[in-house]
Amino acid sequence: MKLTGIELRRIRMPLVAPFRTSFGTETERDILLLRAVGDEAAGWGECVAMSDPLYSSEYVEAAADVLRRYLVPALGARPEADGTAVAPALHRFKGHRMAKAALETAVLDAELRAAGRSFARELGAVHDRVPCGVSVGIMNSIPELLESVQGYIDEGYVRIKLKIEPGWDVEPVRAVRERFGDEVLLQVDANTAYTRADAAVLAALDPFDLLLIEQPLDEEDILGHADLARQVRTPICLDESIVSAKAAADAIRLGACSIVNIKPGRVGGYLEARRIHDVCQASGIPVWCGGMLETGLGRAANVALAALPGFTLPGDTSASGRYYRTDVTEPFVLADGHLPVPAAPGIGIDPLPEVLAEITTSTEWLPL
């Protein structure tokens, strides 16, 4: 199948509640969707770049710009729809992994839809549903946090992740443990908010039996994480630092992490994400699927990835309702703490045309 062009579409979606992390507060999302159009089928790719370069150096305007200016033209005129050929074609352009991931995903989805094969099957999924965790933002008070966590536990989430930052760490963790008990699977995510000098504060989390501490230090501070791992008992998990399978292999060998959060956007796509899964599995390192507040389109692909055998911890693959009152697809709904892995061709789900039209702020056609 030949590709005829790529559509860039921007959508705006309000969040059900503000989402606060150590790097900022989100109240609505401005999302870039890609549609790879071929002569037999078309496919979707959701770019996970946020509005501002606060989680990573990427941001949505830059992703649109680099796609338009460099990445889409690099595919060449009317190329074969071949997902495995995308990363090599884009390789000479540095960085911009989220933009590259969106393009690769759109092409893969188009290719798999034309071939009648599911994303899950293609990646090597071994489960038809995956257990789901939820990421809980920083709140204004402990009572507000406890109420929020109570709601998620009532919904059936099997794991709670608390966002932390200096001044919002030991007390919220203690409060959640005291209120909900030792059986709740609990972990924390600092999004790089601490320094090497904070080892004592992070060690103060040890008594609470957390599953892991996610990305306490700067994304480039691999050695700092290795040192920290020797000073705390809680396992260190890396998110921001793991930008490739090579970065994962290096971090593991240096002892910088004993668990890895895999986000396809952060690493340049689902094929590289699978390579990270493979590297970690070979090293006995558990992995879990991270999230970037995806719509149903990105969520569908994440759930497929999370069904690979090495994903032995619940991911941030929460239901649509965690972030959006109205999703762009049929909503993903939690059933007994799990989400179903889509089995239809490609990512296995489509946008609802009326919803998509309603939330679209612009479209742009880039012919190949």
One-letter amino acid identity for 199?
Answer: A
Q: How far is the CB of 44 from Mg ion (least distance, A)?
A: 24
Q: Which residue is nearest to Mg ion (CB)?
A: 239
Q: How many chain residues bind ligand OSB (CB under 6 A)?
A: 11
Reading the block at residue 211, the tokens are: 């599953």
CA 190 vs CA 17, 119, 209, 354: distances in Å: 20, 31, 17, 38
Q: Which residue lies nearer to Mg ion by CB, 109 or 219?
A: 219
For residues 34 and 45, the answer to whether their CB atoms sit within 8 Å is yes
Q: Which of 186, 237, 229 is nearest to 207 (CA)?
A: 186
Q: Which does residue 318 bind out of Mg ion, ligand OSB, none, counting CB within 5 to 8 angstroms by kind?
A: ligand OSB
Q: Which of residues 216-245 bind ligand OSB (CB under 6 A)?
A: 239
The C-alpha atoms of residue 295 and residue 306 are separated, in whole angstroms, by 16
Beta carbon of residue 98, minimum distance to ligand OSB (angstroms, whole number): 11
Of 2, 100, 161, 163, the active-site residue reads: 163
**Residue 318 binding ligand OSB, by CB under 6 A:** yes
316: partner contacted, choices Mg ion, ligand OSB, none (Cβ within 5-8 A by kind):
ligand OSB
Q: CA 13, 344, 303 angle in degrees (round to 5)?
A: 55
List the one residue from 22, 191, 295, 329 that touches ligand OSB (CB under 6 A).
191
Number of neighbours of residue 215 by Cβ within 10 angstroms = 26
Q: How far is the CB of 250 from Mg ion (least distance, A)?
A: 19
Helix (H, G, I), strand (E, B) or coil at 288: strand
CB of 38 to Mg ion, least distance (A): 34
Residue 304, helix vs strand vs coil? helix
Query: Interacting stretch for ligand OSB, rule CB under 6 A, among 3-11, 150-158, 180-188, 287-295?
Result: 287-295
Q: Residue 42 or 173: which CB sits closer to Mg ion?
A: 173
Residue labelled with tokens 């790097």:
23
Residue 169 interacts with ligand OSB (CB under 6 A): yes or no: no
**Closer by beta carbon to ligand OSB, 113 or else 159:** 159
163 flagged as catalytic? yes
**Tokens 């150096």 found at:** 57
Closer residue to ligand OSB (CB): 112 or 256: 256
Give the 3-state secondary structure of residue 163: strand
Which residues, other chains included, contact 178 with Cβ-Cβ below 8 Å and sequence gap of 6+?
none
Neighbours of 144 (CB within 10 A): 10
> Binding segment for ligand OSB among 94-102, 202-210, 286-294, 341-349 (CB under 6 A)?
286-294
Output the six-digit token pair for 101: 């991931």
2 in active site = no
Q: Does 292 bind ligand OSB (CB under 6 A)?
A: yes
Q: Quote the least distance from Cβ 289 to Mg ion, whole Å.
A: 12
Bridge partners of 107? Answer: none
Find tokens 């809680």 and name the residue.
234
Closest residue to ligand OSB: CB criterion: 291
Interface with ligand OSB by CB under 6 A: which residues? 55, 135, 189, 191, 239, 290-293, 316, 318
Residues that are catalytic: 163, 263
